Structures are given as structure tokens and as C-alpha cells.
Amino acid sequence: MKYWLVKSEPSVWSWDDQVKAGTTDWSGVRNPQATINMKTMKKGDRAFFYHSNEGLAVVGICEIAKEAYPDPSDKAGKFVQVDVKPLEAFKQPVTMAEIKATPGLKDMVLVKNSRLSVQPVTAAEWKAVCKMGGLKS
DNA sequence: GCCAACGTTGGC
DNA sequence: GCCAACGTTGGC
């Protein structure tokens, strides 16, 4: 199983929205590298749900419910989307500041390339962040 | 609100 | 196909 991190601005689409909506498509990604990452995702992979701009924290865990397929909002047909299903909310959000202050998490893509909206997360990073968020993993 | 980092666009 | 200019993202 692989681990990922997806980003959303809570003013546009928040974790609460995701929980209320249940399984939804993760559409609108228009970045080549993020697209490659989504194409690599397998059903059953896990992804952190991160709030950018406001909150600046990992707030919950999603499961990839459906592997990459064409994003209907992309007329050119170049970009893809996956389906995500909310699994579990963190007991406490893990903020960017905490991640930066934690040895071993400083190399997370979130820190290194904060603009990438769909990122890989290593197993070690996954475990550490889950623990900080109050979840077993 | 500012600005650094990154992507994209378009003239050549 | 290069690269300067511009636009966007997102942390601070």
C-alpha cells in the first residue's frame, strides 16, 4: 500500500465537506506532477487530507476509492481524477509548523515543495504524522 | 497583503 | 526549443 497527501483550501473544499459528502471525485487537478501521482495511486491506498492557506494542517485520512480516470471538467482530456473516501479524522490536526519542527518530517514533500497538490508520503512519515494526530495509523 | 517558488505562455 | 515575462499558489 502506498501513502499520499492531497491538499485543499478549506474555503473551497474542507475536510468537513468531504465527510458530509462521503466518497467523491477529486477533480480539478491541473498539474502534471500531481497527475502522475494520481495515476500511480491504487485502490485502497491512503491519503492525508491537508488544509492549505487556512488551517495549514493535516486533518484526516482518506482512502483511494477509485483509481485514476479522465477528469470530465478537463475538456482537453489530459488530466485525471480519482475518487476519495473519508476514513478518519485526526484527534488533533497536525500543523505545518509541527511538521517542520519534527526531525524526520523535514524532508516531507509538503515542506520541500509546498505547492504540489498531490504528493507521495513515505511509510515512516505516515506513521509519525498519524501518531501526532492521535491515530494509530 | 507580501513575496518566493514554481508553472505556463509566447515571442523569437 | 529557449528563455523572459507573466500568473498562481501557498506559507508567512
CA of A72 to C1' of B12 (A): 36
With a cut of 70, say whether residue A6 has pLDDT above it. yes
CA of A118 to C1' of C8 (A): 16
Residue of A126, A106, A109, A101 lying closest to A2 (CA atoms): A126
The answer to whether residues A58 and A49 touch, using CB atoms and an 8 Å cutoff, is yes
Q: pLDDT tens across A81-114, in order?
A: 999 999 999 999 999 999 999 999 999 999 999 9
Which nucleotide across the nucleic acid strands is nearest to A112, CA versus C1'? B5
The predicted structure's pLDDT at residue A79? 93
pLDDT band at A137 (very low <50, low <70, confident <90, very high): low
The predicted structure's pLDDT at residue A91? 97
Q: Is the CB of A100 under 7 A from strand B?
A: no
Q: pLDDT tens across A35-75, in order?
A: 999 999 999 999 999 999 999 999 999 999 999 999 998 87
CA of A133 to C1' of C9 (A): 26
Q: Is the CB of A78 under 7 A from strand B?
A: no
With a cut of 90, say whether residue A77 has pLDDT above it. no
With a cut of 70, say whether residue A5 has pLDDT above it. yes
With a cut of 80, say whether residue A78 has pLDDT above it. yes
The predicted structure's pLDDT at residue A55? 95
The predicted structure's pLDDT at residue A73? 87
Helix or strand run (H / E) with residue A89: strand A80-95
Return d(Cα A55, Cα A59) in angstroms, integer: 9
The predicted structure's pLDDT at residue A103? 93
pTM over 0.75: yes
The answer to whether residues A25 and A34 touch, using CB atoms and an 8 Å cutoff, is no
